[in-house]
Amino acid sequence: MADAEKNETAVEPAAAATPNVTEVETVDAATEEEAVAALEAKVDRGEPILQVRNLVKHFPLTQGILFKRQIGAVKAVDGISFDLYQGETLGIVGESGCGKSTVAKLLMTLETATAGEVFYKGQDITKLSGRALRAVRRNIQMVFQDPYTSLNPRMTVGDIIGEPFEIHPEVAPKGDRRRRVQELLDVVGLNPEYINRYPHQFSGGQRQRIGIARGLALNPEIIICDEPVSALDVSVQAQVINLMEGLQDEFNLSYIFIAHDLSIVRHISDRVGVMYLGKMAEIGSDTEIYDHPTHPYTQALLSAVPVPDPESREGRERIILTGDVPSPANPPSGCRFRTRCWKAEDKCAKEIPLLAIPERFANTDSPAAHESACHFAEEKDVVHA
Amino acid sequence: MTTIEKTADDAARQGAGDDGTPLLEVRDLHVEFHTRDGVAKAVNGVNYSVHAGETLAVLGESGSGKSVTAQAIMGILDMPPGRIPQGQILFRGEDMLTMSGEERRKIRGRKIAMIFQDALSALNPVLSVGYQLGEMFRVHQGLSKKEAKAKAIELMDRVRIPAAKERVSDYPHQFSGGMRQRIMIAMALALEPDLIIADEPTTALDVTVQAQVMDLLAELQREFNMGLILITHDLGVVADVADKIAVMYAGRIVETAPVHELYKRPAHPYTRGLLDSIPRLDRKGQELYAIKGLPPNLLKIPSGCAFNPRCPKAQDICRTEVPALVPVTEQDGTELPGRGSACHFWKETLHG
Amino acid sequence: MPDVTKSQSGTAVDTAVDAVAPPTEVDTAPATGPAPQQNKPRSLWGDAWFELRHRPLFWISAVLLVLLLAIAAFPGLFTGADPRDGDLTNHFLTKPELTHFFQADWFGYDGQGRSIYARVIYGTRASIMVGVGVTVVVTLFGGLLGMVAGYFGGWIDSIVSRIVDIFFGLPFLLGSMVVLNAFTERKVYVVIAALAFLGWTTIARVMRSSVITAKQADYVTAARALGAGTSRILFRHVLPNALAPTIVVATISLGAYISAEATLSFLGLGLADPTISWGIDISDAKDAIRDNPHVMLFPAGMLSLTVFAFITLGDAVRDALDPKLR
């Protein structure tokens, strides 16, 4: 903890300053005034329910069959910090290979962190095991991306949704389980009579509802959603998103919503973090990130999103990045984005930019005053025509 | 049916300025699959056409029949269980379904090429990229190994793969997803086809790479004046590159329109529902509109309009009569070229 | 796109989307709102059974196997003759008349004047016992090792895999011969032990790889995220989804073990008198084959039929359990 604290010096004060915007939902096509108003409306939500501090996951690259030796490491997650508050949705976006799914696995303690801490209500869950870990797991649940592979094809829906009760028998007494399962089916909008069916008798959207019901079974406080709608049909995505939003209000859930679809993340999130090659490039409220991005990567990402409106499309500036994401086994020195960045200078190769509010915005009320890991952070609206 | 085809073609002709015969025309195509649970009617009377230099986007969800139609055009449908009970696929006016296998093979690859979603599984992992690219030239044009390799490098340059000369002997897994999709495009381009069918070409790619690949595809299409059929479920991707759009639902085309028109004023409740149900990047909305219900079961397509169980406008007529794809007009009767809707209540949807 | 609903079922093998015919394109998941009750819950084993019922080859092999099992269990019901009772007046006697169905002289007599029909009937038991016995031992032992290696990975996997490689390197028949040579007693269980000693490696390999595939599935991660323990994950999630290939390989190799027993017996290293076995009879017949081919024909024919029945059944089961393997 002590040395983590040291590493955090640059990040910690910024994290404390993160605005906790509540009324962002009403901020439409945010003008300057509205955004400022939204910033002022921030309220203190008290202690975060989940605090991630300098989280690192390196996957060793080994050679040899019986006598393995390490020849390097894939730096999937390389020092990530953020907070999650009760009842809020934190979106995490990034391209494939940026480490966002690894973050999900680390938060679920499905992978062991190489370094760093994850505090759930003040308790570091990366150090837990056995009974204590199981107790925490009840409160942090997950919804998976692929509803076709995340349900055991040899189990009935009743067994799948009832399994959490078998693992944590203290949550529901045995006689009560069937009723609870049917209740859960009802909550996610499925017919409770489906309890004896097998997953392959359902369509993708219905399966994802089953997955959500399983995630809800233990009354968790946090649900980590790893691309929960990207495998679904367009017309069904909205149903599932609405369901998840409804459940959040009903049960006061906190979501970590990991996705590559920036439009959906904006819709559902209160705050958004943008990841690139294992690092957080920029984090802030949805308005700050989408309407006032300051990191070049965020700007490029946003400008590349195809918008289902040819007219607004024509007025938008598009930043087409050259090349591909470098390998996380051998990331560029300094700023990881510099190899594809049009602003890159010598400084970017030498100094790792810290995730902090850029100096030039530090004492302003501007919505650009949010954490951004760029030496040359500059506001640029790429979303609006 | 025929009238709408004509208007659609008119619009295309104006844009392309060719002799009038479309490059590819699909007429009343039906495809069904015989499964042990019954007959799945995947395509139920699809009509569309593409001219040289034109991009047709076929938009639909899984199960809409958009990919099956493309497979039928390419002749790569698994038959059985697939069957084409009815319909014509005309390439430059000639019906490909009645041709001999030999004749069809000549068109496939040389005249019509296809790009798949998953480039990694579409490329042979044990052969070098250069060998696979060169194969086309060795087989179809009888070039020597050395000449074929030179051609392969040329192709890789054309799809802007950096350091093509050095990378020509690399294997597919050594390329990134975006680069592999470029190789697929290079392969499709190799014999300079007249028409390219791209089945979800960028779905597996990241947004920043997606933009690169779509740009490349659009540019090459312009350069070679090719026809392009873009099959996708992504309303965003379509908006960027398509000239005209055909929206498919349960094996039928439910709406056709030039790209701007479709987004501005959809004439079918399904299209409208789709547009309303996707969240927007540039504004934060309230609750999303959600189309209720599930995509139809192809073994039991609802009677009448297939969309009726999910449609907010459904009346009795929708449950009994299959709506034909009819031309759509302004309120005062002015024709809207290229527009059609298969809805009994298109007037209310368009103008309401 | 032959199996629209089944295409999602082969999770144990691969979930890769076929680029030519994406299985998601025709989604016939029969669950559209109001009228679902006519669809009975259909498990994957239920699906497999449905597939099997529609295969003529399955029925042919199943009928054959039921008959063979009945013969093995109650040989006395099928013949009244004593297979060990030799009457030298019947030396190599043949009775080709078709009116002699199920009589002792139906297939004729061997060199010692014993009824070939009775010997073929009584020989069934040894063959079936060896086949089934070896399969059971091999499946339990190899399956367990493969499961442990596949699930736990790491050094356990390294050690098990190396042992498998070593055993795999030993020639199956030669190895069994060496093992059998060490025994003076040639009973059925000795032959089972000798064949199982070298036969478990295939099952272990198959099990290991299907367990590795199954344990990477999202539903296993989901169970881990719920806090499920190792035994629950292994027996509720991994094993049921990894079993199919093992069952298939076991059924197919059952036929191979039967022929291996016959080979060993033929070479004089397998079963020996007083056990009655097709292999022994074939061996006895080899010297007389020029003048009296019928002595060889019937035991060899029964052997082929039995092996055929098991292998065909294995094929049918494989097709039913995993349409993608076809």
Which chain C residues touch A if contact means CB-CB below 8 Å? 5, 8-9, 11, 15, 24, 27, 29-31, 36-37, 39, 41-44, 158, 162, 217-219, 221-229, 232, 236-237, 240-241
pLDDT in tens, B175-224: 877 788 888 888 888 888 899 998 888 877 777 778 778 888 888 888 88
Contact C28/B76, CB-based, under 8 Å? Answer: no
* ipTM tops the 0.85 cut: no
**Contact criterion met (CB below 8 Å) for B251 and B297:** no
Q: Is the pLDDT of residue A290 over 80?
A: yes
CA C48 to chain centre: 18
Same domain? For B183 and B126 the reply is yes
**Contact criterion met (CB below 8 Å) for B203 and B234:** yes
Q: Round to whole Å and give the CA distance between A235 and A217.
A: 26
C-alpha separations of B197 from A195, B84, B257, C305 in Å: 43, 19, 19, 52
- 3-state SS class at B258: strand
Task: Name the pTM for this structure.
Answer: 0.77
pLDDT in tens, A104-123: 999 988 888 899 999 998 88
Same domain? For B132 and B264 the reply is no
Higher model confidence: residue A18 or residue C106?
C106
Contact C221/A150, CB-based, under 8 Å? Answer: yes
Domain boundary among B157, B192, B227: B192
pLDDT in tens, A328-375: 888 898 899 999 898 888 889 888 998 888 888 877 778 888 899 999
* % of chain A residues with pLDDT over 90: 22
**Contact criterion met (CB below 8 Å) for A220 and A143:** no
C93 in a structural domain = no
**DSSP letter (8 states) at residue C109:** B
Same domain? For B178 and B197 the reply is no
pLDDT in tens, B144-162: 888 888 888 888 888 888 8
pLDDT, position A45: 61
Q: Is the pLDDT of residue A254 over 90?
A: yes
Same domain? For B183 and B225 the reply is no
Higher model confidence: residue A14 or residue C184?
C184
Q: Minimal Cα–Cα distance from C205 to chain B, Å?
A: 24
Domain boundary among B156, B173, B192: B192
Q: Phi and psi dihedrals of B239, rounded to 5?
A: -60, -30
Beta bridge partner(s), residue C257: none
Same domain? For B230 and B308 the reply is yes
pLDDT, position C207: 93
pLDDT, position A12: 38
Q: Round to whole Å and give the CA distance between A115 and A64.
A: 26
pLDDT, position C139: 92
Domain boundary among B192, B207, B242: B192
Same domain? For B236 and B332 the reply is yes
Same domain? For B101 and B182 the reply is no
Of A66, A149, A154, the CB nearest to C218: A149
Closest C-alpha among B340, B342, B344, B345 to residue B328: B340
pLDDT in tens, A211-232: 999 999 988 999 999 988 888 8
C159 in a structural domain = yes
Of A18-32, C108-122, C192-206, the poorest mean pLDDT is in A18-32
Closest C-alpha among C326, C240, C276 to residue C122: C276
Same domain? For B198 and B311 the reply is yes
pLDDT, position C37: 37
Tokens of C99: 């009116």
Q: Which domain holds residue B233?
A: 1-111+193-352
Q: Is the pLDDT of residue A276 over 80?
A: yes
**Contact criterion met (CB below 8 Å) for C265 and C180:** no
Q: Round to whole Å and give the CA distance between B232 and B296.
A: 18
| B42 part of contact set with chain C, CB < 8 Å | yes
pLDDT, position B190: 82
Residue recorded with tokens 């995730």: A355
C143 in a structural domain = yes
Chain A CB contacts of C237 below 8 Å: 152
pLDDT, position C44: 64
Quickly list H helices, A257-375.
262-268, 286-291, 296-304, 310-315, 346-350
Q: How many separate domains does chain B show?
A: 2
Same domain? For B223 and B341 the reply is yes
pLDDT in tens, B92-110: 888 888 888 888 888 887 8
Closest C-alpha among A240, A208, B183, A57 to residue C29: A208
List the strands of the sheet with A89-93, edge to edge. Answer: A140-143, A222-226, A254-259, A89-93, A271-276, A279-285, A371-372
Secondary structure element (H or E) that encloses residue C285, with its range: helix C278-285
Q: Round to whole Å and give the CA distance between C158 and A55.
A: 31
Chain B CB contacts of A233 below 8 Å: 61-62, 233, 295
C244 in a structural domain = yes
Contact B279/A266, CB-based, under 8 Å? Answer: yes
Beta bridge partner(s), residue C193: none
**Contact criterion met (CB below 8 Å) for B114 and B69:** no
| B312 part of contact set with chain C, CB < 8 Å | no
Chain A CB contacts of B178 below 8 Å: 324
Contact A266/B278, CB-based, under 8 Å? Answer: no
Contact B118/C5, CB-based, under 8 Å? Answer: no
**Contact criterion met (CB below 8 Å) for B287 and A245:** yes
Same domain? For B171 and B23 the reply is no
C-alpha separations of B124 from B108, B132, C209 in Å: 19, 8, 23
Same domain? For B88 and B155 the reply is no
| A150 part of contact set with chain C, CB < 8 Å | yes
Closest C-alpha among C220, C203, C213, C199 to residue C242: C213
| B292 part of contact set with chain A, CB < 8 Å | yes
Where residue C182 sits, what CATH number does that domain have? Answer: 1.10.3720.10
Q: Round to whole Å and give the CA distance between C268 and C284.
A: 10
Same domain? For B216 and B170 the reply is no
* % of chain C residues with pLDDT over 70: 80
Q: How many separate domains does chain C show?
A: 1
Q: Which domain holds residue C264?
A: 50-79+119-325
**DSSP letter (8 states) at residue C115:** B
Which amino acid appears at position A369 of this protein?
A: A
Quickly list H helices, A188-307.
204-216, 234-251, 262-268, 286-291, 296-304
Find the mean pLDDT for residues A133-141.
Answer: 88
